[in-house]
Amino acid sequence: MLKPLTIAMTMVASLVACTNPPNDPLVIATDKGAVKGVQQESLRVFKGIPFASPPVGDKRWRAPTPPTAWQDVLQADSFAPACAQIIHPFMSLANHPVSEDCLYLNVWTPATDDRRQLPVVVWIHGGGFSYGTTAMSLWDGAALAQRDVIVVSLAYRLSSFGFLAHPELSREAGGHSGNYALMDQIAGLKWVQKNIAAFGGDPNKVTIMGESAGGVSVSLLAQAPAAKGLFRGVISQSGAAVVNTGSYLNLADAEQKGVELMQRAGASSLAELRDIPLEKILEATATHSTPGGSTWPIIDGAVISGDPTELYRHGQQSDVALLIGNNELEGALFNRIKSADEYRAWVNQRFPDKADAIFAAYPAGDSDASAVKAAIDLGSDTTFAIQGYSWARLQDRHGQAPVYYYHWDHHPPARPGMWPGAIHGAELPYVFGTMKMRPQAWTDKDYAMSDQIMSYWSNFIKTGNPNGEGMTEWHPFSEAQPVALYFNDGASRMGNFPHAARLATVDPLTP
C-alpha cells in the first residue's frame, strides 16, 4: 500500500532557529548551511541532510542539482522519507513515509571534531532499484562507525523516477536520459568530497559499499566517468554489472520503454507526465516492472558510457581496490521452481543450446526436492556468482589494484517464512552489527561471525586491505590463483574459488 506524499513543511530534516551555543559539537557547518545532529553514545549522528534539491515538479527526471542554501540551523535528527516506491513486504519499511522529495543522506561519525581525518564508507542500499530506504534498521551505521570509520548512507531515486528514458527527456538533456538514480549517487559522493572533513572525515579515504542493487550500483560507479576520483575502494555484496548485458538496455530501446510508460500513464507529453501524481506513475510502472525496463540502469552513453564488460576490457574503470563476493544460496530468495518437471522445462527454455550440460552440472534427479536445490544453485550462479567471478577476473586482467573475494556460507538462525541458510542478504546484519534488530535466536558463533566480518570490512575501509592482526590472512584473488575467503560457522578460512567447475558451464566471459 502506498504511503502518502509528504510535503516540504513536514520534512523530517526541518529548519529551526539558530539558538545553539557557540562551539556546540553537535552543530556542523556544511557548504550550504549548518546542521545539528544528536549524540548517540560515543557517536555524533546526523540524519536527513539534503545533498540535492528536491527532484519534484519540473525537476522530475532531471539531473540532481545542489540544494538551496539555508540560514538557520537544520535540525538533522530524523530520517527523511523514503524515495517514491510501492511498499514491498520486506524490501521496504512499511510505516515510513515515501516522497519524491527524498535526496537526503545520513552521517554517523565517531570524530569529536574536524581534525581526525577518519576514513569514510558510503552505503548504497539495495532493493532491486525499486524499494528500500536509508531508514531501515538493518543497515544502521552505528556499530560500524564505532570501529573508527565514518558511515554515510544516501538515498537515490527509485523505480521509473530513477531510470525513465524518453526521447523528449533526451532532447531536453542534450542527447541522453535515464540513470537519474546513479546521478543521485554521484551527487551524494560529491557532497561527501565537499563536506565530510567538517565531520572529521578524510575525503581522500572514501570507500563505496552496496548490496544487491546497491552492489550493482557501486560496480557501475566504478566505471562511470563522472564518479572517477570520488572514492578509493569498493565493497560490493551480491551485485555486479558485468557479463549481464541482457539487463542493460541501450538508450534507444530504453526510450521506447519510456514512450510505452507514458502511454500507460495516460499522458501525451512530458509536461503532462511531470504533472501526474507519483502513485499513478508507480502504478503504470508496476505493470511492466522488469530489469531492462524503465526501472533499471541503461547504457545511455553518458553516465554509463558503454557496455560495462567492455569498459573493463579497455581499462576505463576506476582502478581501485575491490572487496566483493556472494552468498551460497543467493537464488533461494527468488526461486519459483517447485518440481522436477518445472525445473526441466525452465532449463530447456532458458538454455536451449546447452541444456544437457546444465543438467549435468546442476543435476536434479527425479525428486522435486533435488530439483528445487538444483534450481537454487543455478539461479545463484547465473544471477550473482558469475557476475562477481567475472568482475574479479576483469579487474585482475585490466587493472593494478587488488581484488579480495569472499564467499558467505554462514547460516543465521531461521526466520519464519524464509528459506534457511546463506540466502541473499543473509550477511547484512553481521556486516552492520545489527543482529539485535531482528528477534532471532542468535548464538555466540553468530556474534563471532559479525565481529570477524566487521573487522575485515573496517580494515579495508581504513587501508584498502582487509587484513589485520590475529585474523585469517585474506589473500588477493587472481586468475592464476582464484581464491576466496570463506565465512562459515563462526569462522573464516581461505579456499579455492567456490563452485568453479559448475560455473564454467554458465561462464560467458571470454579471454
Distance (Å) of CA 277 to CA 60, 93, 413 = 11, 21, 42
Average pLDDT over residues 48-74: 98
Identify the weakest region by mean pLDDT among 156-170, 289-303, 445-459.
Answer: 289-303
Q: Which CATH superfamily is domain 322-399+406-461+468-506 in?
A: Alpha/Beta hydrolase fold, catalytic domain (3.40.50.1820)
CA distance 73 to 113: 18
Cell numbers of 104, please? 537526503
Average pLDDT over residues 435-451: 93
Asked if residue 14 has pLDDT above 50, the reply is no
Q: In this structure, are residues 327 and 409 in contact, taking their beta carbons and an 8 Å threshold?
A: yes
CA distance 115 to 47: 21
Asked if residue 3 has pLDDT above 80, the reply is no
Burial tier of 352 (Cβ tally within 10 Å: 0-12, 13-18, 19+): exposed
pLDDT at 108: 98
pLDDT at 346: 97
Angle, alpha carbons 154-157-161 (nearest 5°):
175
| pLDDT tier, 161 (very low <50, low <70, confident <90, very high otherwise) | very high
Asked if residue 120 has pLDDT above 90, the reply is yes
352-400 pLDDT per residue, tens: 999 999 999 999 988 999 999 999 999 999 999 999 999 999 999 999 9
pLDDT at 19: 45
Residue in the block written with cell 573464516: 492
Identify the weakest region by mean pLDDT among 20-34, 155-169, 175-189, 396-410.
Answer: 20-34
Average pLDDT over residues 160-171: 97
pLDDT at 11: 44
Cell numbers of 275, please? 504533472
CA distance 81 to 95: 10
Identify the weakest region by mean pLDDT among 61-75, 350-364, 416-430.
Answer: 416-430
CA distance 426 to 328: 10
- CB neighbourhood size of 264 (10 A): 16
CA distance 420 to 436: 19
- CB neighbourhood size of 181 (10 A): 27
Burial tier of 179 (Cβ tally within 10 Å: 0-12, 13-18, 19+): buried
- CB neighbourhood size of 73 (10 A): 21
The closest alpha carbon to 217, from 164, 259, 179, 262, belongs to 179
| pLDDT tier, 9 (very low <50, low <70, confident <90, very high otherwise) | very low
Percent of the chain with pLDDT over 90: 88
Grouping H, G, I as helix, E, B as strand and the rest as coil, residue 12 is: coil
Structural element, H or E, at residue 509: none
Angle, alpha carbons 237-239-241 (nearest 5°):
145
Average pLDDT over residues 123-151: 97
Average pLDDT over residues 408-413: 95
| pLDDT tier, 289 (very low <50, low <70, confident <90, very high otherwise) | low
pLDDT at 419: 84
Cell numbers of 421, please? 541458510
Q: Which residues are catalytic?
A: 212, 330, 424
| pLDDT tier, 5 (very low <50, low <70, confident <90, very high otherwise) | very low
Asked if residue 18 has pLDDT above 60, the reply is no
305-353 pLDDT per residue, tens: 999 999 999 999 999 999 999 999 999 999 999 999 999 999 999 999 9
| pLDDT tier, 22 (very low <50, low <70, confident <90, very high otherwise) | low
Percent of the chain with pLDDT over 70: 94
Average pLDDT over residues 437-441: 87
- What are the residue ranges of CATH 3.40.50.1820 in the chain? 8-205+212-286, 322-399+406-461+468-506
Maximum separation of any 2 CA atoms in the chain, in Å: 74
Q: Phi/psi class of residue 502: alpha, beta or left (left: φ > 0; alpha: ψ in -120 to 50)?
A: alpha
| pLDDT tier, 292 (very low <50, low <70, confident <90, very high otherwise) | low
Average pLDDT over residues 17-26: 65
Tell me the DSSP string of 343-355.
HHHHHHHH-TTSH
pLDDT at 418: 79
**CATH of the structural domain 8-205+212-286, one choice from 3.40.718.10, 2.70.150.10, 3.40.50.1820, 3.40.30.10:** 3.40.50.1820
Q: In this structure, are residues 333 and 395 in contact, taking their beta carbons and an 8 Å threshold?
A: no
| pLDDT tier, 224 (very low <50, low <70, confident <90, very high otherwise) | very high
| pLDDT tier, 291 (very low <50, low <70, confident <90, very high otherwise) | low
Distance (Å) of CA 182 to CA 175, 343, 478 = 17, 36, 29
Q: Phi/psi class of residue 179: alpha, beta or left (left: φ > 0; alpha: ψ in -120 to 50)?
A: left
| pLDDT tier, 4 (very low <50, low <70, confident <90, very high otherwise) | very low
Asked if residue 2 has pLDDT above 70, the reply is no
The pLDDT mean for the chain works out to: 93
Asked if residue 121 has pLDDT above 80, the reply is yes
Asked if residue 79 has pLDDT above 80, the reply is yes
The closest alpha carbon to 116, from 145, 73, 153, belongs to 145
Q: In this structure, are residues 80 and 155 in contact, taking their beta carbons and an 8 Å threshold?
A: yes
Is the model more confident about 111 or about 15?
111
Contacts of 456 (CB under 8 A, 6+ apart): 323, 406, 466, 467, 468, 471, 474, 485, 492
